[in-house]
Each structure stands twice: as structure tokens, then as C-alpha cells.
Chain A
Amino acid sequence: MIEVENLAKTFGVTRAVNGISFKVHDGEIYGLLGPNGSGKSTTMKILAGILKPTAGRVLVDGIDAGRDPLKVKEIVGYVPETPVLYESLTPVEFFNFIGSIRNIPAEKLEERVNRLVEAFELKGYLHKYIGSLSFGTKQKISLISALLHDPRVLIMDESMNGLDPKSARILRELLLEFKSEGRSIVFSTHVLQLAEMICDRVGVIYNGEIIAEGTVDELKEFAHEESLEDVFLKLTESKDEIYTVIQALKESL
């Protein structure tokens, strides 16, 4: 379970996250939606123990992420939006490195890696330098590396980016399996149909604040809209703006 209370984060004079609160229960997929620069990635990095909050509190399975980030990192699997990996290592070397740092028993590591490599069809890439692989393949490696320690909490920041349809489907099924096992998942995406499909609850973050929260149906009712995309555009004040921009583009092109 994740509990976020009055969380704030500032960088210099920029207030990236402005006193947000929400809860993610065990066995729940929580979608954090918002336009670019709204504070999603910052929030997710704080949940994963990577950044320290300026104010407020984050409890991940009862552990304070601000005070004990190392313990949080032990139970969290974090997938960033852009895979940051050691490009001069091979996936085999990289997974072994993570296994050693996370103290995963060799047998367990071997079993998990081989299972995930099989699922994401990475077998042919195991001994190639990561730097020579495609973006999508790197994203798969990043995903596998976040799952190796069997995390109780998963933080996924637009992690479907670059995945082929088959891998995206496998990941979706995997997330639903994790959910059924009682794990908490925080998920951000710009593909709103996907969010509509897998998220139990959704929080819309805008200018560092959560401006709406609830199930997809609750949000539709709240905004009087038919799709999550329309709800999102309405809440983030983008809907009217879009038509003006499109009109201007049509006239100028």
C-alpha cells in the first residue's frame, strides 16, 4: 500500500509537486495521468525513493520513502520512461549486476530472468551490448530489471513506450497478475485507452496538483464526458485550446 500525504517537491523556484495526497491500496492499479511537465515523473521518483520530498510524507508499505529510501528501493520496482542502462554491458552482465546488488539468490535470478526473457522474446539479445539494441528492446531490459527482485510495489512511468503490441499485451497481463497477487502498482501513461482498460482508479495531476481522482466511470460522470480522453482534456483545460490550435494550423498550412 502507498500513502501520499501533502507531498510537495520544489526545484529551485519551480514547484513541481504542490501538496498532493492519494492512496494506492494493495491489489490496485492506480493511474497517474497528466500532461507533460505536470509533476507525474517527479511524484513517481519520490514514491520509488529516488528523490526526497521537500514537504509531506510518502509511506510505501509503511516505510517512509523520505527517511528510509534504501528500504523502499528494496521493495519497489521502478521503470523510468526512458531506459537508462549501462550500454557497454550485455543484458546477461546487466541482470547479473542487478542480481548481485539486490542480493537475489543465483537460482532464483536465473529462473526469473529466463522466464521473463522468454516472455519478452529477448533470448537472441542476451549477449549483445545494450547500446547496440533498439529502444524497445532496451525498454524490455529495463522492465525485466525492475521485476527481478519480485517487488511488492511497482512504479511504472510511461513504461509501455516503445514496446511492440505483443510485448505491451504481455506486460498488461503481467500487471493484472501482479494486481491479483495483492501488489500495488502506480502507472502513468499518455495512452488513455490503456489507462481506461487496466487502472482501477485514476488521479489526474495538473500543475503539480491532483485535480480529480476516482474510478474511470466516476471521472466520466464528474466531467460529463464519454471517454477518459475527453475527461482528461476537459480537466486539463486543453479541449477548447486544441480546436483553436487545429484551426490555426489548417489556415496556415
Chain B
Amino acid sequence: MFEIVKILYRELHYQIVRRNPMIANDERKFKSQLKNATSIKRGVGIQAGTFFFLGLMLAGGVAFAKDELQIGVMFASYAMIPFIFSLYITAVNSSYALSMGLFEPLKALPVKVGSLYLSELLLIDTIPAFTMMLPVVFVILFRHPTAGILALMWAVVGVFLGHTLGLIIYTVFGARTSEGTSRFGALKNLGKLIGVLLFMSIFYVGNYMQNYVREHIETIAPVFVKYSFAYPFSASSIFDPLQSLELLALYATLFGMLYVLTLKKLWGEIVEPTVSSTAVQKGAFKARKLPKVLALTLKDFKVVFRKSSMIAGLLIPVYFVLPQVFMALSRGEFSTMLATGLIFGLGWFSSIGADPVIKIDGKELDFLRTLPLTKKAFILSKSITMSAIPSATALAVIGIAHHYNGGEALYLLPHAFILPMMTSLTAMNYFYRYKGQEIGIPETNMGDIIVIFIIVGILFGIVGAPLLFMHGATGYAVSSAVGMVITGILVGMS
């Protein structure tokens, strides 16, 4: 059975690599990329290693916890991580795997419940979230062996619960095919964006919970005891083995049944999806002409918002500045200088957005190549797409700074647009530095992103220098002017 899952895993990753035309046209690169991408051991191993490292940081808190109560409560708060990660992976990746047509060949075969293969395929991707819990489990195991074994079992149950709920979400909402645009499409997309952002903030929430629990242990403990039957609070029962085992058995039975029922229902939905078509708009074609660059940008945004997994990539710069915003807000002060630093940081971290932006056009790049499209227009549109979310976040930062400091923060307005745009143009000029007008999907790796970080760092140094030597409006005006000149040069270079 695992052989089939291995084939599906290979097929999924083969499809991803094949849709990178720059690699697909280079046989040597294609083969080498394929070798790494289709190996479960390598793919999962690298991720599991990274998550294990993150888990070590969580384990620190447990290692220095003063008593069993604190360890139990702390473990219960951490138990959210494998649960949410598994839920997210299952809900999002099931949609991705099925849209790739992975299960089409199985439909014609005498397979009773093919969704079991999907479930196993998705569970492979949840292994890293489980490994994140291992350092915590090891620390508990070292200090209290019985509680450690129970903690391990709760971590497994957490993954299983998240996975089952993810399957339910996909079966109820995801497997149904929406036929087209509806009046509430924009609202749905906004909801999706907020959902992804909230998910990405989970580690901050975890960190916040850790500090909160430490500070308010006396108040919180009774709540955890009172609701100890509900996951993740139930995980705090690791020091009461009998109750913990009872709860584990209850969850395993209940969710085991739900899992089996869901798998059957899901396979039915995969073989013949329910089509919802009530809200689809109707009417004749109305032309809406836009300049080339804007048309490309608008297309990019539509594709990104309708493929929720891509939003995560574009939100990464926001993720980097969130902790500073939270910290500043909790202190109740937000200076213009801090806002300046954050906007420079946002602009700098925009570099990471280059990878997802370049990958928006997968196999569709073959279509773009049939159009009279210049590399310059393509680069400019990608730069706008890449800088839109950092610019919007920068505007929000200015809004907060304005609330605390008044009009002075508005000096930063040009920077909110110039800095992310400078980064985006630098990244795109770097990746599309080859001669000729041909457009494509260049290979992007961490090394390239670091080079871009360095180049952007130098450019930001030049833009930021006037702020060090000139004070107030003059400094910001000169800095903006320098930024505009550099942006102009970068536009000219593209």
C-alpha cells in the first residue's frame, strides 16, 4: 500500500518540477531537481530537521518549568502546534494534490476507498509538525518518564485530530467545485487572506501563550483542569495517567470513527464532486481594457487570491515585522523612528516575495510566451505584485505611527511605496538579467535571495543615509528623492 503512496508522492512532486519551464527545458537541471523533489526521505527529512530545531526552543520552556502543573499547562499549549499544522496541511494540500489530477488514474481502477492514499500522502507532510514536539516530549520523558510517554501519545493524537478535521473541512467545503465568480468572491478572498495570516502567526501566539501561562499560572490552571476533556487542554492531563489514558481512548475512538466515515465520503466527492453553481454571475462579455503592466498585475492577484497556498509566500515580509509591531503596541508607544525602521525592514524582507511571485505563472507561462509581451512589462508587473502587500503593510505601520505621533509619521508615505518597489525591481532585474526579451521562470534559490538581500541592503543604506545626517522633514524629503532616483534607474534597467 505504501508503494502507491510513494508513487503518488513522486507524481505530485514531478508535476511541480515539470511545471517549471526553465528547468523542464534543461534536461540536466530537470533530472537533478527531480531526484531531490521526488524523494520522501530527503523532502521530509530536511523539513523535519528544521522543525526539530524549532522544537528545541519550545523544549527550553519545559526544561526550566518549576513544577508538574506548569509542565502540563505548557505542554497543552504546545499541543496546539501539531494540531493546527496538521489541520492546515490537510485542508490546503488535499486541494492542491487533487487539482493536480493525482487521483484521476485511480478513479478508473477497482479501488474501494482511494482517499486513504490521499490521507497517507498528507500525513507524510505532517511529520515535520510532529518532530517539532519531539524535543518537548524528550524533556518531559527525561524528567517524568510516564508523563513523557503520555505526552508522545497526545502529540500523535494532536496530528490525528488536525488531520481528521482537515479532511472533514476539505470534504465539506473544498471538494465541492465552485463554478465561477460570485458576488461575494472578494469577501471570501479577504477571509482566506486573514485566515492564512492568522495561521502564520501561530508561533507568535504560542510564544505569547508561553509567557502568559508563566505569568498567570495560578489563574489559568483551574480553567485547564475544568475543561481538561477538550483538546488541547486535555493534553495537560499527562500527570494523571488514568484520566489521560481514558481521554486518549475516547479521542482515538471518536475521531477514528469520524476518520473512517470521512474517508468514505471524501472518496465519493473525489470520484464525483458536488458542483455548486447558484451564485455564478451571468451576462454578456464587457470589455475592460487596462495598460499591459496593470493587466498582468491584476491577473497575478486574481491567481494568487484564488490559490490560497500562494498567499502564504507573499505574506512572509508581514510575518517578519509583526513581532515588533506587537511589542511596540503592548508597550503603548510607537515612535516615528521605530516606524521608519519597520518600513525599511519590510522593504528589505520583500526580497523573499520574489520566489512566490515568479512562480505564479506555472504551466501558463507557455501561454504568455505566445503573446507580444516584453520582458520589461513582465518585470514591472511582477515588481508591482511583489511590492503590493509590503506597501500596504507599510501604510498600516504609518497609520499606527500617525495615531501615536501625529503628522510627523506622514513624512514616511513615499517610503511605503519606494522601498518595497526598489527591492522588487532589484530582485526582478537580478533574476531576469539575461539578454533578450524572452520571459520565463528562472530558478530561485536561497543563495540568490541572499545576494539580493545584500544588494538591497546597500541601496537602502544610500536611501537611509540622509535620515542620519538631516533631521525632520528635510531628511525624509532628501531620502525619498534619493529613493525615487534609484527606483527610476531600476525601472530603466528592466
Chain A interface residues toward B at CB < 8 A:
11-12, 48, 50, 69-71, 73-74, 78, 80, 84-86, 88-93, 95-107, 109-110, 113-114, 117, 123, 126-129, 131-132, 146
Contact = CB atoms under 8 A, between A and B. Distances in A.
Given A101-B373, A107-B287, A110-B285, A128 B367 contact: no
B286 A92 contact: yes
Given A70-B374, A100-B290, A126 B299 contact: no
A90 B180 contact: yes
A10 to B, nearest CB: 12
Contacts of A105: 289
Interface stretch (B130-138, B300-308, B479-487): B300-308
A240 to B, nearest CB: 34
Interface in B345-396: 363-364, 366-367, 369-374
Given A86-B364, A88-B302, A128 B180 contact: yes
Shortest beta-carbon contacts, A-B, top 10: A100-B295, A128-B180, A88-B306, A106-B287, A110-B287, A73-B372, A127-B281, A109-B287, A74-B372, A113-B285
Given A98-B371, A132-B179, A123 B284 contact: yes
B178 A92 contact: no
A85 B296 contact: no
Nearest to B179: A128
Interface in B147-186: 177-181
**Secondary structure at chain A's binding surface: helix, strand, loop or mixed?**
helix
A97 B298 CA distance: 9
B234 to A, nearest CB: 40
Contacts of B299: 86, 89, 93, 97
Contacts of A127: 180-181, 280-283
B289 A109 contact: yes
A95 to B, nearest CB: 6
Contacts, number: 115
B437 interface: yes
13 contacts: A50-B369, A50-B370, A69-B438, A70-B437, A84-B364, A84-B367, A97-B298, A99-B289, A100-B292, A101-B373, A123-B284, A127-B181, A129-B179
B302 A89 contact: yes
Nearest to A48: B370
B307 A88 contact: yes
Given A117-B285, A129-B178, A101 B296 contact: yes
B291 interface: yes
B27 interface: yes
Contacts of A132: 177-180, 275
Interface string B174-210: 0001111100000000000000000000000000000
Contacts of B66: none
Contacts of B281: 127
Nearest to A133: B179
A167 B298 CA distance: 31
B288 interface: yes
Contact of A114 (B284, B291, B438): B284
Nearest to B365: A84
A125 B290 CA distance: 23
B371 A126 contact: no
A132 B273 CA distance: 11
B288 A106 contact: yes
Interface string B235-278: 00000000000000000000000000000000000000001000
Given A88-B306, A99-B287, 6 more contacts: A12-B27, A50-B369, A84-B366, A102-B371, A114-B284, A128-B180
Contacts of A11: 25
Nearest to A95: B285
